[in-house]
């Protein structure tokens, strides 16, 4: 009988401990989950959106929304996955939208395609480049790049001759506010980061 009493006591203690442990695990996981969600939300909000355009010597306009894909294109002159619109660009150019694996899995228009078409505007941090006539045009504000896409030129600029990866001219887009701030230090650093190791 004493043996049976010990078993029942041990069972009650074990059940009590498992209840306490489950309560600790439950209460600890809720704050961890909510703080993880906040951190993930902040990281998502801080993601830089990109748009890269290359007026290629083959007469096509390549449009990419992924910085890594853009680097690969500049190194290899090729994009593995694309969506193409023949004759739909300025002056009848063929538009080629580069796709990464996620774009291909998702199907449909890429984010870069939607931005180019005006169906979507980047929110938050932005960085874009246009390569045209052997020059780099650099944009750190979507509004400046949108004006370039609309008018085909940049009214206010800061130009560095020969500072591109292969000695090209780099033209940094400015606006009334940024022009009064002098040299666009952050834009220059971001351009160098984008093209680090490509000389």
Q: Hey, which residues does 99 pair with through a beta bridge?
A: 81
The tens digit of pLDDT for each residue in 157-175 reads 999 999 999 999 999 999 9
The more confidently predicted of residues 145 and 35 is 145
Res 199: pLDDT: 55
**Residue 133 — left, alpha, or beta (φ > 0 → left; ψ -120 to 50 → alpha)?**
left
Residue 6 has pLDDT above 50, yes or no: no
- DSSP class of residue 145 equals H
Report the candidate in 71, 98, 70 with the shortest Cα–Cα distance to residue 84.
98
Res 156: pLDDT: 94
The mean pLDDT of 62-76, rounded to a whole number, is: 95
Residue 199 · residue 192 · CB < 8 Å: no
Residue 20 has pLDDT above 90, yes or no: no
The share of the chain scoring above pLDDT 70, in percent, equals 76
Res 108: pLDDT: 86
Res 45: pLDDT: 53
Binned at pLDDT 50, 70 and 90, residue 87 comes out as very high
Residue 171 · residue 157 · CB < 8 Å: yes
The more confidently predicted of residues 54 and 197 is 54
* Mean of pLDDT over the chain: 82
Here the tokens at position 175 are 């606006």
The tens digit of pLDDT for each residue in 21-34 reads 444 444 444 444 44
Binned at pLDDT 50, 70 and 90, residue 13 comes out as very low
Q: In sequence order, what are the residues at sequence separation of 6 or more whose Cβ sits closer than 8 angstroms to the Cβ of residue 59?
A: 93, 94
Residue 17 has pLDDT above 70, yes or no: no
Question: How many whole angstroms separate alpha carbon 72 and alpha carbon 69?
Answer: 5
The mean pLDDT of 98-118, rounded to a whole number, is: 92
Query: What stretches of the chain adopt beta strand conformation (E)?
Result: 49-55, 60-64, 81-85, 94-99, 126-132, 135-139, 156-160, 169-174
* Residue 188 CB-half CA count within 13 A: 11
Here the tokens at position 128 are 């874009």
Question: How many whole angstroms separate alpha carbon 142 and alpha carbon 150?
Answer: 12
Residue 84 · residue 95 · CB < 8 Å: yes
The tens digit of pLDDT for each residue in 41-65 reads 454 556 889 999 999 999 999 999 9
């Amino acid at each position: 009988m004493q043996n049976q009493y010990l078993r029942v006591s041990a069972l009650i203690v074990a059940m009590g401990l498992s209840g306490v442990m489950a309560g600790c695990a439950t209460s600890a996981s809720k704050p961890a989950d909510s703080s993880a969600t906040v951190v993930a939300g902040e990281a998502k909000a801080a993601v830089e959106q990109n748009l890269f355009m290359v007026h290629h010597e083959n007469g096509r306009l390549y449009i990419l929304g992924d910085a890594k894909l853009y680097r690969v294109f500049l190194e290899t002159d090729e994009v593995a996955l694309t969506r193409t619109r023949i004759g739909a660009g300025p002056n009848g150019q063929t538009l080629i939208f580069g796709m990464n694996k996620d774009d291909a899995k998702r199907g449909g228009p890429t984010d870069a395609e939607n931005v180019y078409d005006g169906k979507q505007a980047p929110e938050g941090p932005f960085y874009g480049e246009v390569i045209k006539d052997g020059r780099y045009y650099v944009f750190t504000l979507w509004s400046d790049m949108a004006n370039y896409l609309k008018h085909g030129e940049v009214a206010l600029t800061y130009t560095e001759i020969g500072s591109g990866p292969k000695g090209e001219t780099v033209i940094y887009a400015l606006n009334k506010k940024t022009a009064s701030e002098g040299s666009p230090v952050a834009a220059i650093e971001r351009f160098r980061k984008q093209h680090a190791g490509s000389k």
